[in-house]
Amino acid sequence: MTKLSTRSRTDLLLHIGIILALTVVLVLVFFFGYLPYSTNHGQTITVPDLKHMSLDELENYLDDRDLRYEVSDCTFVSGGVPLTVFAQYPQPGSNVKEGRKIYLTIIKRMAPTMPMPNLIDQTSRTAELQLRALGLVLGELTYEPDLGKNKVLKQLVNGKELAPGTPVAKGTTVDLVVGDGEGKVYFPTPDVTNMNFEEAVAAIRGSGLRVGVRVPVDDPEQEVGTVIKQKPRADERIRLGQSVDIWVVGPIDANADAQ
């Protein structure tokens, strides 16, 4: 077997040159031959839009496109169809290689629960922001007499008051009863007609009102002392402390008026 001579400087340089040339050839073959072939270089697939697609559909759909998937997260979406795709990565329209794995966020079947917040005495706007931050929904606003304008007086779910801390599902609608800013400044006048005088006086004073002018009237068909008319009329709105005038059958009894 003939051996390459390395006795001279020229032979040594020649051998080094041959080794370097072979190394360069191997590197070029690896990067421009084997590597592109093994990684399908230049062959890409456009990622389809998988949103709203069910898990049952995904398997065959992605297999036909040489793609795979993995569920990386789950979330609850109010009104969303359970076990369907909510989000994906890479995004639809991206170009990926064959066999690429698509990571999916799936809509949960059951809504998570959380403690009901305490919205009492907050403004309706603050309560709305807090509900939204927790994934709850503001429902109807009902106004009741209260000096605190838009102050939350009650928090309701399905028509029932819900105490703070009670477990409630995400996406639940919460109705609020809030103040109208006026309070009970005005209220309906009590109906004292057809009562006797003493009963009428008690009803008027019991409502936080005063007995005003007592007008005597003759009415042979009514018993003496019966109230047959009043002003303001029954159910007419009146302010606290105002007076109610009454028309009473019979003469004025000074002692009764003084009581």
254: enclosing H helix or E strand = helix 254-258
For residue 54, is pLDDT > 50?
A: yes
User: Which residue carries 């007499």 as its tokens?
Assistant: 145
pLDDT of residue 35: 60
pLDDT tens, 99-150? 889 999 999 888 888 899 999 999 999 999 999 999 899 999 999 877 788 9
pLDDT tens, 171-208? 899 999 999 876 666 789 999 999 999 999 999 999 88
231: exposed, middle or buried (Cβ count in 10 Å: 0-12, 13-18, 19+): middle
Instruction: Select the highest-mean-pLDDT range: 17-26, 70-79, 207-216.
Output: 207-216
For residue 254, is pLDDT > 70?
A: no
In DSSP notation, 68-129 reads EEEEEEEE--TTPPTTBEEEEESPTT-EEETTPEEEEEEE-SS--EEEPP--TTSBHHHHHH
For residue 1, is pLDDT > 50?
A: no
pLDDT of residue 24: 80
Taking the whole predicted model, whether its pTM rises above 0.75 is answered as no
Q: Which residues pair with 169 in a beta bridge?
A: 113
Instruction: Round the average pLDDT of the chain to a whole number and report it.
Output: 85
